[in-house]
Structure 1
């Protein structure tokens, strides 16, 4: 059971205030990506998703995203887990959902993908970061191209755009407002004060 502690205090379980907040959110079936996507973050999020699936396979999971993006492989680990589990995963963009953050946002259950009014969504191609010998560079470039094609193919299916259009639009950084993201197909709804979270549950 989560301990409710005064600010700046820790409980006997050794939880900090931040830990207790995320623990409480997890009890409400809410997971949060609030940082760069890396292996450590992916391991935490996939574990939380699997735990919530095991606990209740029928109730929705709410996934809040405020992220500058990050590792493609770590992002795919989260994406594959979202597809694997039985509960619907409702995604919410707040602040910024960039690069892999955008991909995870649009990977939510169709009809349950949301953006807060001032969220900004960035689509661009994955970073290459190649180096080493000529042979190594060729191998990495081939892998990079496969990632680019796979991301574009999935994003096209999610948005209703063509794969060619996704590749064209993602060749350079392209920013979207919440409404533009809805029009493009990344999200299904823009949350407003009038709509609120209750109507999105």
Structure 2
């Protein structure tokens, strides 16, 4: 599961929560979403969303999106989700750390969603800060209810789970490891190390090739068995009669 390494120079140039890289050989572009989604809300922000969309649409190839984010601005997540869904080529989402809250919504836009074996996804109810009287509090509650329904829309499209089940998972602030995310439909598969030889059909915990080679090496280097040596002839005995005659002769010596 190779993740293209970025040079320190590129990391220093990063001025927002996303960064692009490209592979000249394959032509595939890679988008990195690291950290909080929109450090500051881009509500009524015309520049940031336009900048993101322009960079997204500047290429004409499949893209890979690496996500490691605790979440952030739900408005930004909603727009990024819509932009990725509208992108006319395949979008492969790869989660190497955590895709929590708003970041999990963005992940739902992937044509394919893959998670590292150690990665996590977390979904929960939206939250906000409200100030005012009871009427203002009721408006805030109603607003959060609608935001939750909008988020459920994205989860429902991806997973096929019922809205009631998704709502229950959000109520419980559910953390999912890779296997559970795949089981529930939030992810499509688990990232594998392409360097390993897994054989043809079944994945084993050992390398079939390494074991086979080791066996061949033992067979080749094993010394040939030594030629069987002829046992020396057993000592020739004498008959009982002859032995008795010799004993009788010794008596008179």
TM range (shorter): 0.7 to 0.9
Work out whether residues 31 and 48 of structure 1, in 8 Å CA contact, stay in contact via their aligned partners in 2: no
Match of 1:18 among 5, 11, 14: 11
Aligned counterpart, 2:81? 79
Say which structure is richer in helix: 1
Contact 1:53/1:87 (8 A) holds in 2: no
C-alpha displacement of 1:70: 1.3
Query: Conserved in 1, the CA contact under 8 Å of 2:93 and 2:113?
Result: yes
Q: Would you say how many aligned residue pairs link Structure 1 and Structure 2?
A: 179
In 2, are the aligned partners of 1:126 and 1:148 still within 8 Å (CA)?
Answer: yes
Segments of 4+ in structure 1 off by > 4 A? Answer: 19-24, 39-46
Contiguous gaps of at least 5 residues in structure 2: 1-6, 197-253
1:133 aligns with 2:137: no
Q: CA deviation at 1:53?
A: 2.3
Q: Show CA shifts across 1:75-102 (max 9, x none).
A: 1121111122222221111111111111
TM-score (normalizing by structure 1)? 0.77
Task: Report the Cα distance in structure 2 between the residues aligned to 1:175 and 1:65, rounded to whole angstroms.
Answer: 16
Contact 1:52–1:61 under 8 Å retained in 2? no
Rg (Cα) greater in structure: 2
- Partner residue of 1:37? 37
Higher relative contact order (CA 8 A, sep 6+): 1
TM-score, normalising length from structure 2? Answer: 0.62
Distance change >3 Å, CA 41–CA 158, structure 1 → 2: same
Residue of structure 2 in register with 1:100 after alignment: 102
Aligned to 1:61: 63
Contact 1:152 1:166 in 2 (8 A): yes
SS at match of 2:31: strand
Q: Which structure 1 residue ranges, 5 or more long, are not aligned?
A: 1-6, 9-15, 197-201
